[in-house]
A and B are shown apart, each in its own frame.
Chain A
Amino acid sequence: KAGVTQTPRYLIKTRGQQVTLSCSPISGHRSVSWYQQTPGQGLQFLFEYFSETQRNKGNFPGRFSGRQFSNSRSEMNVSTLELGDSALYLCASSLTGGETDTQYFGPGTRLTVL
């Protein structure tokens, strides 16, 4: 079974631009969560999608958004990029997103904002 895949793996953008990251979950998984990992703030939960609906959201500004498609693939978008958005963005999938479900993580997308 293929694991969680994220594209692209590396990305360089400049301040003010916008960016879209993609995540393909494990086949059969309907929940996709996104996380931001930075040296300063550590690992933080961004949001979770289930059946094309955002079900949970972390404490991030509205510049961070996402969506999920009918095949469970998910994208996250960051508009008006800031230097502080430089981070590793991780996607994780699970069967239902339940609190005892096991999440499987992708390798991440490394975003650098110049």
Chain B
Amino acid sequence: AQSVTQLGSHVSVSEGALVLLRCNYSSSVPPYLFWYVQYPNQGLQLLLKYTSAATLVKGINGFEAEFKKSETSFHLTKPSAHMRDAAEYFCAVSDRGGSYIPTFGRGTSLIVHP
């Protein structure tokens, strides 16, 4: 069974600093990979997804992620954090089986200090 590990339940950065949120997956076949953001009292919003095109995926709000098969990783980065980026971030994986049935990581809370 596939699984997703997000290292660090909380990540704290200063405004303007680099954001790096880590995600590692466990799957025998490279799956589809996704990053979502959840703001307080809201549902999830898709930031970006990897579906086996380019390994460097650009998403919304200035975020990007790089798929590294050798490291089974799909880390999320943003060059410069904004206060509005403070939220919960979820990495998800879905097998290549036709339907989207995601397995989510436990989430990482991004805290941005002024």
> Which of A's residues lie within 8 Å of B, judged by CB?
4, 33, 42-45, 48, 55-56, 58, 90, 92, 94, 97-108
The complex places the Cα of A95 from the Cα of B95 at a distance, in Å, of 19
Other-chain residue from A4, A42, A45, A106 in contact with B101 (beta carbon distance below 8 A): A45
Q: What are the residues of chain A within 8 A of B90 when measuring CB–CB?
A: 43
> Which of B's residues lie within 8 Å of A, judged by CB?
32, 41-46, 49, 51, 90, 92, 94-107
Contact A42–B107 (Cβ < 8 Å) = yes
Contact A103–B100 (Cβ < 8 Å) = yes
Determine how close the nearest CB of chain A comes to the CB of B70; give it in whole angstroms: 23
Provide 17 A-B residue pairs closer than 8 Å at the C-beta atoms, listed in order of the A residue.
A33-B100, A42-B104, A43-B44, A43-B107, A44-B104, A48-B99, A56-B99, A90-B43, A97-B99, A98-B100, A99-B51, A99-B100, A100-B100, A101-B100, A103-B100, A107-B41, A108-B43
Chain B residue with the shortest CB-CB distance to A47 = B101
Q: What are the residues of chain A within 8 A of B99 when measuring CB–CB?
A: 48, 55-56, 97-99
